[in-house]
C-alpha cells in the first residue's frame, strides 16, 4: 500500500471513529451528565519507570493523555475540567527534576496556544490556580499569556492547578477576605478576637468568593488515577459532595474506556448525591 493510500485509509478510519464517538456520547446524554470533572494526574513518573523512559518522558506522555481526555470531555458536553498538575510540595523534588518540569510546562502551555489545537476548536478558556509567582519565570509568563489569550473565549473551561495546595488556597482566601472587610471598616484588629468580631464579620460566602475556584461550580467527579485514594491537598473545600473515583491505570494509560466507566459510576450514584444536596440545602435554609 502506497503512502497516499495509507493516508486515505487513515482519514476514513478517523472519520468512522469520530462518528462512533458521537453516537456513543449521545447515548450518555439520556442520563445525568457531570458538568465539572477534576483530575489528579497521578502516575507519570511510575509510567516512565515502568517503560524504562528517561526522566520527564512520562510527563510528556501524560500531556498527550490530557489532550485526548479533554477532547472526550468537551465532546461529551462537560463544561469544566480541572487538573492537579503541580503541587507546592512538588518543589521538594530534586532541583534538576523541578527545572525540567518547569521547562516542560512552558513548552506544553505554548503548544496549547498553537492554531490547530483543542483550545481553538472548542473555544477553550484556560485558568491557572495557585501561587504562580513560585513558578520559573518562563513558565509563569507562559501561563499568563495563555490566560490572557483565552480570556474572552466562551467555550468550556480548563483550570490548571500549579504551585497549588488546597490549604494554601483557603489561607489566601481568608487573607483576602480579612483585607476586604478591614478596608470596608467591618474588621478592627485590637488583639481581642471577641471585640474584633472576625467570626461574625466574615461568612462562608466571603471565603468562597475569594477562592481560586470562585467562578467555578464544585466538581461532580474527582478522579485520581493509579489507584491512589488520597486527595493530596486538592480541592478540599470544593469536594464535599463530589463523587471520588480511583481507577487503577496510571495517568498516561487513562483512556476513553476509563472515562466512560467513571461517568457510568457517577450516573449510578447520582440519585444519592442529589438527595444529599437537597438535605444539606434544607439545613442551610
In the chain, how long is the greatest CA-to-CA distance?
A: 83
Whether 106 and 142 have beta carbons less than 8 Å apart is answered as yes
* Angle at 10 (CA atoms; ends 28, 27), nearest 5 degrees: 10
Catalytic (active site) residue 212: no
Whether 221 and 241 have beta carbons less than 8 Å apart is answered as no
Q: What one-character-per-residue DSSP string does 57-87 give?
A: HHHHHHHHHHHHHHHHHHHHT--EEEEEEEE
Of 42, 212, 218, 220, which is the active-site residue?
Answer: 42
Whether 61 and 244 have beta carbons less than 8 Å apart is answered as no
Whether 84 and 251 have beta carbons less than 8 Å apart is answered as no
Catalytic residues: 42
Amino acid at each position: 500500500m502506497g503512502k497516499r493510500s495509507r493516508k486515505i485509509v487513515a482519514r476514513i478510519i478517523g472519520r468512522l471513529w469520530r462518528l462512533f464517538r458521537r453516537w456513543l456520547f449521545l447515548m450518555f446524554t439520556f442520563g445525568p451528565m457531570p458538568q465539572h470533572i477534576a483530575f489528579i494526574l497521578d502516575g507519570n513518573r511510575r509510567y516512565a519507570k515502568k517503560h524504562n523512559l528517561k526522566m520527564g518522558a512520562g510527563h510528556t506522555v501524560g500531556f498527550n493523555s490530557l489532550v485526548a481526555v479533554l477532547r472526550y470531555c468537551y465532546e461529551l458536553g462537560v463544561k469544566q475540567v480541572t487538573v492537579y498538575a503541580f503541587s507546592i510540595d512538588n518543589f521538594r523534588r530534586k532541583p534538576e527534576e523541578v527545572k525540567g518540569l518547569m521547562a516542560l510546562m512552558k513548552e506544553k502551555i505554548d503548544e496549547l496556544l498553537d492554531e490547530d489545537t483543542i483550545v481553538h476548536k472548542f473555544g477553550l478558556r484556560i485558568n491557572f490556580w495557585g501561587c504562580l509567582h513560585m513558578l520559573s519565570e518562563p513558565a509563569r509568563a507562559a501561563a499568563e499569556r495563555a490566560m490572557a489569550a483565552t480570556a474572552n473565549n466562551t467555550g468550556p473551561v480548563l483550570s490548571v492547578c500549579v504551585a497549588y495546595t488546597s490549604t494554601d488556597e483557603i489561607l489566601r482566601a481568608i487573607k483576602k477576605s480579612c483585607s476586604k472587610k478591614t478596608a470596608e471598616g467591618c474588621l478592627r484588629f485590637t488583639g481581642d478576637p471577641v471585640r474584633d468580631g472576625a467570626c461574625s464579620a466574615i461568612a462562608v460566602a466571603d471565603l468562597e468568593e475569594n477562592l481560586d475556584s470562585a467562578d467555578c461550580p464544585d466538581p461532580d467527579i474527582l478522579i485520581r488515577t493509579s489507584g491512589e485514594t488520597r486527595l493530596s491537598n486538592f480541592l478540599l473545600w470544593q469536594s464535599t459532595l463530589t463523587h471520588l473515583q480511583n481507577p487503577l491505570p496510571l495517568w498516561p494509560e487513562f483512556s476513553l474506556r476509563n472515562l466512560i466507566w467513571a461517568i457510568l459510576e457517577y450516573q449510578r450514584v447520582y440519585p444519592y448525591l442529589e438527595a444529599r444536596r437537597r438535605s444539606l440545602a434544607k439545613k442551610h435554609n
